[in-house]
């Protein structure tokens, strides 16, 4: 139900529906990377930077999801819908979550093994929490600096609470602070509450407890959005983003010594490190594109970034279709995915290059679809 009274922020810090080309481009780069890392021709032949870290540590691939959540935080500060009726925020979050749940069911609709957590589900929940906190911290006529301090405190508090929980709360049958695969507190909660409805029925990288620090990542994006929305000179905005980003990276690396950077657990050190990296990437894009005006290279990424939800859904559906469709004689049927790769790409190059070419082709096909949608002004929004 919508708020009976709409929250109104002071004029100097009301969210404005003004698109930043740099934000669309960074979103597009993030989404393009996601498509490439999710669709190699052969998972046994992939360049190391395009794989997730086995457990602790990070690779460039481990930056993709937190970058997107960071961008969600930036975007919600620039949308008038954030300060409108709260029911609209709840509906948007629900649509994103439901889309994720539906994608988990396609194509087999196996409800017995239906995975409940997921990427879109986490995005929807983080958006809901961050947008709500953004509204709450806007009450009382606070200026942007005061709101930023409150949001920063919320981000830090959530990260600290998560660190304390997984470090000090013992798992039944286990020990407190055990972060080995499948033995952490988050996995115990997921197995208890969701049973077999988690990733491969064992553990889940988008589980319930680790959504708490993922909200922190989104709130860090809100801080960057407030910075970009201020009346400060462009150079000062870049300086603040770079300084904040470097500070967070250092905090993450230091925290890593006692609480390892880990994407699957979304550890608090991972929140700090990836949030800092995202701030630095945003600063670079903002300075290059919106300040210096060097935009010629950016158009393909803008097209991908302006239709990110469509790209995510279409990529998932295309991959599922290629894997689900079987071809060949009945006694040796293979997925269309595998047949295309083995027939068209394996003869072309060395294994890792052939696998990468397949992923790039997948991206090119999706770009073609989104280019047509862009020209016809078709944008899929929650």
- What pLDDT is recorded for position 76? 95
In a domain, 357, yes or no: no
- What pLDDT is recorded for position 382? 82
How would you classify residue 377: left for phi > 0, otherwise alpha for psi between -120 and 50, otherwise beta? left
In a domain, 338, yes or no: no
In a domain, 107, yes or no: yes
In a domain, 364, yes or no: no
- Predicted TM-score (pTM) of the model is 0.93
Cα atoms in the Cβ-side hemisphere of radius 13 Å centred on 78: 20
Cα atoms in the Cβ-side hemisphere of radius 13 Å centred on 194: 26
Q: What is the dihedral of CA 225, 228, 232, 238, to 10 degrees?
A: 120
In a domain, 122, yes or no: yes
In a domain, 263, yes or no: yes
- What pLDDT is recorded for position 162? 98
In a domain, 281, yes or no: yes
| Domain span at 273 | 11-310
Mean pLDDT by runs of 10 across the 382 residues of the chain is 39 55 97 97 96 97 98 94 90 96 93 94 98 93 91 98 96 90 94 91 91 98 96 96 98 98 98 98 97 94 96 96 88 89 95 97 97 95 84
Number of independent structural domains in the chain: 1
In a domain, 339, yes or no: no
- What pLDDT is recorded for position 200? 79
Please name which of 17, 15, 51 lies closest in space to residue 33, comparing C-alpha atoms.
51
Please name which of 232, 363, 343 lies closest in space to residue 301, comparing C-alpha atoms.
363
Please name which of 66, 68, 72, 118 lies closest in space to residue 97, comparing C-alpha atoms.
118
């Amino acid at each position: 139900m919508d708020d009976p009274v709409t929250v109104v922020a002071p004029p100097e810090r009301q969210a404005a529906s003004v698109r930043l080309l740099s934000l669309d481009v960074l979103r597009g780069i993030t989404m393009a990377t996601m498509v490439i890392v999710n669709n190699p021709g052969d998972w046994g032949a992939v360049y190391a930077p395009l794989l997730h870290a086995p457990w602790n540590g990070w690779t460039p691939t481990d930056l993709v999801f937190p970058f997107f959540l960071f961008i969600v935080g930036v975007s919600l500060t620039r949308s008038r819908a954030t300060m409108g009726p709260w029911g609209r925020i709840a509906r948007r979050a629900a649509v994103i979550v439901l889309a994720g749940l539906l994608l988990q069911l396609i194509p087999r609709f196996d409800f017995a093994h239906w995975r409940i957590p997921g990427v879109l589900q986490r995005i929807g929940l983080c958006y809901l929490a961050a947008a709500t906190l953004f509204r709450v911290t806007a009450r009382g006529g606070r200026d942007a600096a005061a709101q930023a301090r409150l949001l920063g405190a919320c981000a830090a508090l959530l990260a600290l609470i998560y660190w304390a929980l997984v470090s000090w709360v013992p798992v039944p049958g286990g020990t407190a602070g055990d972060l080995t695969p499948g033995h952490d507190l988050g996995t115990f909660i997921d197995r208890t509450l969701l049973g077999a409805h988690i990733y491969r029925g064992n553990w889940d990288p988008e589980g319930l407890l680790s959504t708490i620090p993922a909200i922190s990542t989104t709130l860090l994006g809100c801080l960057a959005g407030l910075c970009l929305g201020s009346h400060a000179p462009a150079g000062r905005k870049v300086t603040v983003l770079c300084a904040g980003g470097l500070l967070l990276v250092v905090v993450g690396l230091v925290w890593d010594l006692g609480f390892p950077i880990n994407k699957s657990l979304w550890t608090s050190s991972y929140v700090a490190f990836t949030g800092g990296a995202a701030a630095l990437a945003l600063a670079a894009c903002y300075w290059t594109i919106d300040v210096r005006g060097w935009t010629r290279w950016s158009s393909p990424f803008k097209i991908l970034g302006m239709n990110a939800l469509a790209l995510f859904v279409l990529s998932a559906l295309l991959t599922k279709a290629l894997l689900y469709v079987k071809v060949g004689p009945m006694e040796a049927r293979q997925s269309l995915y595998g047949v295309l790769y083995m027939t068209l790409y394996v003869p072309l190059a060395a294994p890792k290059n052939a696998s990468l070419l397949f992923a790039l082709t997948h991206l090119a096909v999706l770009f073609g679809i989104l280019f047509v949608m862009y020209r016809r002004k078709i944008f899929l929004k929650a």
